[in-house]
Structures are given as C-alpha cells and as structure tokens.
Amino acid sequence: MGAPRFVAVFTTDLAALVRFVQDLTPRVEMYPPDGLILEVSPRSETTTRERLARYRASLAVASASTRNCALFAARYRPGSNVEPGEEAVFLSSFPLSALSLLGPEVCAPELLETLGRWGIRTFGQLVSLPRDELKSRLGRSGSRIQQIAAGTDLIPFQSDEPETQFEETVDFDYALNALEPLSFTLGSLLEKLCGDLQARGLAAEAVVVELKLESRRAYPREVKLAVPLANPKVLLSLVRLDLQTHPPSGRIVGISVRLVPAPPRVLQHSLFEPLAPAPEKLARTLARLAALVGEKNVGSPVLLDTYRSDAFQLVPFSVPMRKAIERTGLTGFTGFAFNPVNPVNPVLSIAFRRFRPPVPTQLRPDRIVVWAGPWIASGDWWTSGAWAREEWDIEFTDGTIYKAFFDLHRKKWFLDGVYD
C-alpha cells in the first residue's frame, strides 16, 4: 500500500465538511477553526480529492506526504499535489510569515521577528541556515521551525474520533394511549443501544426519553442511574417505572431514546468485605422507592456548610468506589469512641439521641437540678430561613439529661434530644 498520504482541506463551513468526510475515511484530524487533514492511502488519494471537488468546488484542497506540507499547500497553494521527497523544494519559496499558520505555540511571533531582522524571508533561506548554529542562538524553537520549513512532521497524525451519539428515534403509524404497547418499541430500542454501548466497552449512566405527543409537544424524561449499566431489561424496567409515576398528558406518536455513555463500574470483591448488592437490584430498588415516596425524598444525605443543627440535603445516590474501612472508619458503634492507637480497648462515652423534629416544651425551674449554657448559635441571616437560638444542657430531677434550646425568633423552648 505504501506510506500514507495526507489531504488538507480548508472551508468556511467546517461542521458540514466533517459530516461529509467521515464517509470518506475514519482517519480525520481537526485543524480549527476552518481546516482538517485526512489520512488516506495512495490508492484512494485521487478518489478522495475527486469526491471533495464534487462536494464543493470552493474547497481549498492539497495533498502531500507530510501533514505540515499538506497544510501549507492547501492554505497558500490550493490544488497542489506534492510528491514524496519534494516537500522542501515545494516549500522553499513560501514566505516566512506562513509559519504563523501553525499557531503561536509552535512558532512565536518574537521568533519570526528575530529571523526577519536577520534578513530571512522565505522557507528556503531558513532551511539553508546551519542547524547547529541556529539551535545555539534560538534554542530548540529555532531547530523545530527549521524542520517544519523543510516539510518535516514533528508530531504524528492524531485522528480525532467522532463523538458517538447513542440515540434512536421511532415515529408510530398511529397514536398510542397506553404504556404497554410503547414498551415493545422501547425494549427493542434499548436492546440495540445497549449492544452499541457494550461493543465500545461502555455503559449508560442515564437514560433520556423524549415522547412526541399528538399535540406536537415534546415530553422529556431523564432516568439517572446510581451505577452505570448496559442491561436493556433493567433499563426498560426503570424507564417504565418512571413513566408510570410521571405519565404523559396525551397520546404518543413517537419516541426518542438516548443513552448517556460512561465507563462501566467494575467491582473487585474482597474476602474481608460484605458483598454489595448487584447494580441491577440497586437500580430497581431506588426506582421503586422514588415511585413510592417521590424523587426528592430518595438520595444520599449530605451535611450543609452551616452551623445549623441537623441541616442536610439529599443528593442523587451513587456507589462510592472505596474500601469498607474508608467508609466506616474506626468509629461506628453508638455509645463508644474507639482509640485509633488501641482499638481493642474502647472508651465509654455518652451518646446523644436527637429528636426529629424538636419537641416543644415548657421548662419548670422546680424540676431542674443543674444546667449549663447558654451556647448561642445563629446562621442564614441573609435568607428567609434565618435562625438563632440559645442552647442549654439541663439535668432534671428524674436523672435524665436533655439538650434544650430557646428559639430567639419564635420565643419558645424546645427539647433537641436526650443524652443516654
């Protein structure tokens, strides 16, 4: 087959050209903002150039045996076809300013200015300079642009893989008013998309379904997964649960399904850790819980960055890729605080059992033995949820010790919890 050839193309509509050249060769390197390079075999070079000319006559096209030479030729002498070994001769008459095509990270403007003061005006004059002396004066940058001016490639061809869209769309011959007939089409689409994902070693982290309604409105739904999956049956059950919980408001005339790709989650079980639930069972369980109690009430609790007691929010649940010891740490038993140095001998400590929500109360001084406080706490004063309170530890005559607080906004006492 021989050494590969490079076809450089410049256009005013790069997006449309990219879609066209992907049918010519999978080896495409983008050269923003308006160019690209195709790597082709010598046998297919002529055919490629003919198809580019038929696609649009205004394209600036040139070919050579090196990437750099093809780029310079397409930009400044479109239509050229440089034979192997003739790159330096072909480029010798090019003006030195043409090196700016490769960008300032390859050829800095200060470098071109220095060469201009030396009287260097063309590629040929630059190539004729003694290499060692040029490098001693301009460093590696001078040596690099001298090789580029001779048509040499300093970096290999890097093909840009097109972004694959895992999406399928179907329009129905008649409108559907139930989810059961929709499931057959949805299942076949997910089967095909999951097959495409598995062929590329990927999984789905979310399923985006868009229903086309008879009223010409779109009804989008997104099902996010706690663990990336590529099992079409599991994905079908999750989408069905979501649509049953949030049914569309009209009859369905079409459907579009898109899978959001992600690396698959690989779990290596340990002899010293309990087995985690299967990802499929976990995803189904979370979906059923969301259908029962609502999506906003299912997730992982995360503490908020505030001094407010018991302030947290729910975020979408995901399985962390950490060892059990990192999940639990050395403290995890209610009522005990373990010494990291000697975890065999625990130190007994008091546990606090919080009341959720706090219990309104009226304190009677005759029932209080001793108290400690107050500890004043407040926050979120810049929002509508501003809070402020005085906290006390109080021991009553029956021996129980409570944590109480006085709400400074509502002017009431509450029991926050009890010390066991």
Secondary structure element (H or E) that encloses residue 21, with its range: helix 14-21
The DSSP letter of residue 268 is -
Taking phi over 0 as left and psi of -120 to 50 as alpha, with beta for the rest, 79 belongs to: left
The pLDDT score that the predictor gives to residue 146 is: 92
Neighbouring CB atoms inside 10 A of 362's CB total: 6
Asked if residue 349 lies in contact with residue 419, where contact means CB atoms within 8 angstroms, the answer is no
Question: How far apart are alpha carbons 77 and 70 in whole angstroms?
Answer: 10
Which amino acid, one-letter code, is at 294?
Answer: G
Question: How far apart are alpha carbons 165 and 304 in whole angstroms?
Answer: 37
Beta-bridged to residue 393, according to DSSP, are 372, 403
Closest CA to 36 of 12, 65, 4: 12
The pLDDT score that the predictor gives to residue 78 is: 92
Question: How far apart are alpha carbons 373 and 228 in whole angstroms?
Answer: 50
Asked if residue 5 lies in contact with residue 45, where contact means CB atoms within 8 angstroms, the answer is yes
Question: How far apart are alpha carbons 52 and 50 in whole angstroms?
Answer: 5
Secondary structure element (H or E) that encloses residue 7, with its range: strand 5-10
The pLDDT score that the predictor gives to residue 198 is: 87
Tokens for 228, please give them: 């990336």
Q: How far is CA 167 from CA 261, 334, 395, in A?
A: 11, 50, 65
Per DSSP, the chain holds a count of helices (H) and strands (E) of: 11, 17
**Structure pTM?**
0.46
Asked if residue 338 lies in contact with residue 349, where contact means CB atoms within 8 angstroms, the answer is no
Tokens for 362, please give them: 């009226």
The pLDDT score that the predictor gives to residue 327 is: 37
DSSP string, 21-61: HTTT-S-EEEETTTEEEEEE-HHHHHHHHHHHHHH-TT-EE
pLDDT in 10s for each residue of the chain, 420 residues: 568 899 999 988 888 888 888 778 878 888 878 889 999 888 889 999 999 988 888 899 999 999 999 999 999 999 999 999 999 999 999 999 999 888 888 888 898 899 999 999 999 999 999 989 998 898 888 889 999 999 998 888 887 766 678 888 989 888 888 778 888 888 899 999 999 888 888 888 889 999 999 888 888 998 888 778 888 988 888 888 888 888 888 888 999 999 988 888 766 666 776 666 666 666 667 777 776 777 777 777 777 777 777 777 777 766 554 443 343 333 333 333 334 444 444 445 678 888 888 889 888 888 888 888 888 888 887 888 788 889 888 888 888 888 888 988 888 899 888 887
Helix-, strand-, coil-residue percentages of the chain, each rounded to 5: 35, 30, 35
For residue 240, the Cα-to-chain-centroid distance in whole angstroms is 26
Asked if residue 66 lies in contact with residue 40, where contact means CB atoms within 8 angstroms, the answer is no
The pLDDT score that the predictor gives to residue 162 is: 60
269 φ, ψ to 5°?
-75, 150
DSSP string, 62-113: EEESSHHHHHHHHHHSTT-BPPTT-HHHHHTTSBGGGGGGG-TTTS-HHHHH
Question: How far apart are alpha carbons 226 and 229 in whole angstroms?
Answer: 9
- Residue ranges of E strands in 180-299: 203-213, 218-229, 252-262
The DSSP letter of residue 340 is S
Question: How far apart are alpha carbons 193 and 169 in whole angstroms?
Answer: 11
Beta-bridged to residue 76, according to DSSP, are none
Q: Show the domains of the chain with their CATH numbers.
A: 5-149 (3.30.70), 163-315 (3.30.1490.100), 352-419 (no CATH)
Question: How far apart are alpha carbons 416 and 280 in whole angstroms?
Answer: 40
